[in-house]
């Protein structure tokens, strides 16, 4: 998500190199322990706070960094960005036509279950309700995936792990995770990092000097104080990195903040003005 130099698509999914991640608390240890016990993990947190990057990093740690047979797996992490038209079929697989015959094709979830990859269902609540049902049998002691269309009852590969993410920020009744689903996961809660940590992240991701990164992180913290005024989540770490990248690309800092932060988080002219003022006094 926040990868700066867009690498080739398969390079990122094959995790040839380490995705950079700066731990905020004990989330790495927790995730490793959860993986050791093969407990499914739920990542909760506002948009752009590093959930996806964290999963990429953990997949790299568990499949690439460690000396295990897992290194052999070609694609250790399968990410599915859920949307409202995503059905269980899309996850499990479907019959496709090949000539006059139909051929079964695995969906991303089935592929991961077979190969023992981590599957990451991003924003699971966006998907249709029936998707949550197929993951239930995978998340308890059974660890099986029933494929209705083919009648197959697929046992999960020992290395398989299910990770889902969920953003409680814009939940509504129908877009909320049911307790029956939620209580199958170890929940890791994410929030925007503290100023000092966020500054390091910005400096690393955008390749800017520590001074500017620090200023941007402060802007982030101050703007998030205005969360209740027309925007729900405050400015994401991702947006702050965008601003830094624009500055590195030669845009004047105030202008970069205007396009990447001020205009992005609110449409209310007065709020925008207030944010611009905050940016103005904090930037040198």
Partner 1 sequence: MSEAGAAAVFADHQRVLALFTQGIVGRHLHLKPFDEGRPAAAPSRISTDGESIRLPAQVADFPDARHNLGAYRIAILHQVGYLECGTFAFDLRVAGERMALPPAAPAPPASAILRRLRPAPRSAELERFFALWPRPALLRRVFATVEALRIDTVMRRRYPGARRDLDRVLAHALGRRPPAAGLRPLASLLEALVQYSLGRPRALLVAADRTGLADALLATAAPVEADGASVYDSAAAALAICAALAALTRPPARPGAHGAGTDEAPPDEPPGLPEAAPAAAAEVADGEAAPADDALDGAEVDFRGELAPDAVFRRLASGRAGTLEHDGAAESAVPEDGAGNDAPAGAARAPVRAAALPPTPRSFLYDEWDCHAGDYKRAWCRVYEHRLRGEDAGFIDDVRRRHAQVARQVRRRFDAIKPESLARMHGEREGEELELERAIQAAIDRRAGHAPDEHLYVRRQRGRREVAAAFLVDMSASTDFPIRDRAAEAAAAAAAAAAGEADPYVWGRFGAPPDPPPPAAKRRVIDIAKESLALMGDALVALGDAHAIYGFSGSGRDNVEFHIAKDFGDPAGMRTWTALAAIEPRRSTRMGPAIRHALAKLARQPERVRVLIIVSDGYPEDQDYGPDRRDIEYGIADTARALAEAERAGVAAFCITIDPAGHDYLRRMCAEDAYLVIDEVAALPAELAKVYRALTTGNGRGPRRRGRSALRFAHPGTGADAGPASGAAPGAPHESRR
| Binding interface with partner 1 (CB under 8 A) | 87-89, 94, 97, 130, 171-174, 176, 179, 215, 222-223, 225-226, 228-229, 270-271, 273-275, 277-284
For residues 195 and 202, what is the distance between their CA atoms, to the nearest angstrom? 10
Q: Using the minimum distance from each CB to partner 1, give the nearer residue, 122 or 214.
A: 214
Nearer to partner 1, 2 or 167 (CB): 167
Q: How far is the CB of 148 from partner 1 (least distance, A)?
A: 9
| Least Cβ distance, residue 165 to partner 1 (angstroms) | 18
Q: Decide whether 88 or 239 has the Cβ nearer to partner 1.
A: 88
For 89, 138, 140, 154, 263, the CA distances from 123, given in Å and listed in that order, are: 17, 18, 21, 25, 24
CB of 272 to partner 1, least distance (A): 9
Shortest distance in whole angstroms from residue 123 CB to partner 1: 16
Q: Helices 195-206 and 237-248 sit at what angle, rounded to 10 degrees?
A: 40
Residue-by-residue DSSP string for 20-82: P---SSSHHHHHHHHHHTT--EEEE--TTSSHHHHHHHHHHIIIIIS-SGGGG-S--EEEEE-
Do 108 and 78 meet the contact criterion of CB atoms below 8 Å apart?
yes
State the minimum distance, in angstroms, from the CB of residue 223 to partner 1. Answer: 6
Nearest CB to partner 1, comparing residues 74 and 228? 228
Residue closer to partner 1 by CB (options 37, 174) is 174
């Amino acid at each position: 998500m926040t990868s700066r130099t867009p690498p080739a698509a398969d390079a990122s999914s094959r995790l040839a190199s380490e995705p950079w991640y700066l731990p905020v608390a004990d989330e790495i240890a927790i995730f490793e322990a959860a993986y050791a016990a093969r407990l499914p993990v739920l990542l909760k947190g506002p948009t752009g706070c590093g959930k996806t990057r964290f999963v990429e990093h953990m997949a790299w740690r568990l499949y690439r960094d460690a000396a295990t047979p897992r290194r052999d797996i070609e694609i250790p992490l399968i990410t599915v960005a859920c949307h409202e038209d995503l059905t269980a079929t899309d996850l499990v697989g479907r019959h496709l036509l090949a000539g006059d015959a139909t051929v079964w094709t695995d969906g991303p979830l089935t592929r991961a279950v077979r190969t023992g990859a981590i599957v990451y269902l991003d924003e699971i609540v966006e998907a249709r309700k029936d998707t949550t049902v197929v993951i239930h049998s995978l998340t308890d002691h059974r660890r099986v995936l029933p494929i209705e269309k083919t009648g197959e009852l697929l046992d999960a590969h020992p290395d398989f792990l299910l990770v889902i993410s969920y953003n409680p920020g814009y939940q509504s009744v129908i877009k909320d995770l049911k307790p029956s689903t939620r209580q199958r996961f170890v929940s890791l809660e994410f929030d925007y990092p503290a100023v000092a940590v966020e500054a390091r992240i910005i400096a690393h991701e955008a390749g800017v000097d520590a001074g500017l990164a620090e200023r941007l992180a402060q802007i982030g913290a101050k703007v998030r104080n205005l969360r209740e005024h027309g925007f729900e989540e405050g400015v994401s770490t991702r947006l702050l990195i965008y601003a830094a990248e624009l500055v590195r690309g030669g845009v004047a800092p105030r202008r970069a903040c205007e396009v990447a932060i001020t205009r992005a988080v609110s449409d209310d002219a007065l709020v925008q003005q207030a944010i611009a003022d905050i940016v103005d006094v904090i930037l040198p």
